[in-house]
Amino acid sequence: MQTRKLGNSDLSITPIGFGAWAIGGGGWAFAWGAQDDADSIAAIQEAIDLGVNWIDTAPVYGLGHSEEVVGKALKQLKTKPYVFTKCGRVWDENRQIGKRLKRASVRQECEDSLRRLGIDVIDLYQMHWPEPDEDIEEGFSEMLALQREGKVRWVGVSNYSVEQMQRVSKLGPITSLQPPYHMLRRDIESAILPHAGANNIGVIGYSPMASGLLSGAMTRERIAAMPDDDWRKSKNQYYQEPGLTRTLQLVELLREIGARHNKSPGEVAIAWTLRRPEVTAAIVGARKPGQVTGIIGAAEWRLTGEELSQIEKSLV
């Protein structure tokens, strides 16, 4: 599979990476419901076998569990992928999530992530959210200190505005930005993507299929049958009316376009995000074997100008 250089780093990454949010399992605020760890590890193995060379996770996914599952998978993999994780979200004994970017907290999170993942160095360490805003300089400074010490190789940010990137870039270079980006959420196109492109900041977009809604596998019946602890059921605006009906109609267009090329609606959705030159790669989640196989075709396939126009008209 082709690779692309990520920002100012020496990392050459595949256009699709394995997203480990959902494999964190149930029992926390933004869970996707209970997951089978053996299935999760098999999905990671499948992704690596298909050529994917990086995994993106975070401590808060399953309150440590996602990193632990990734760590177990890494022990079994003959080909070792790059490992990306994050900092800035912590939790207490009651599993309540808090926002913290103080130096000591960022350092402790890094040490905990290294332990759970079973690795000596994190390839890309990202500030998960710029919250509290007043502490982003302190948190980023500590991430740079961890880089100097060799605990992390490169540092990036996630969910940042242009103004926030400008603030922390005074302290040191930003390697990457991780923003949400899909057909239903295009706000980064006006200022954030141009800023990243102009400043050699790699962009790895998350939720390119709008948390599964654009995958082609989602129906009203499946949404209704989701477990109560699947955050999409009540907290994801795209899964709610009045927009849901229109989005399901959009999926049928993606299905039609994909059928011309033997591609799934999800592959069309992912390829659409990768059309932008500023976007280095997309994070695609999987929870069981077979799911990565259904989306890997988006890595190198591109939509035609006519197909992009068709999609654009449907989004207006």
Q: Which residue has the tokens 């609606």?
A: 265
Q: Which residue has the tokens 């250089």?
A: 5
- Three-state SS string over 188-248 comes to HHCCHHHHHHHCCCEEEEECCCCCCCCCCCCCHHHHHCCCCCECHHHHCHHHCCCHHHHHH
Task: Say if residue 86 is exposed, middle or buried (CB neighbours under 10 Å; 0-12, 13-18, 19+).
Answer: buried
Pairwise CA distance, residues 154 & 57, whole Å: 15
Query: Considering 61, 82, 206, 239, which one is annotated as catalytic?
Result: 61
- Clarify whether 61 is annotated catalytic: yes
Active site residues: 61
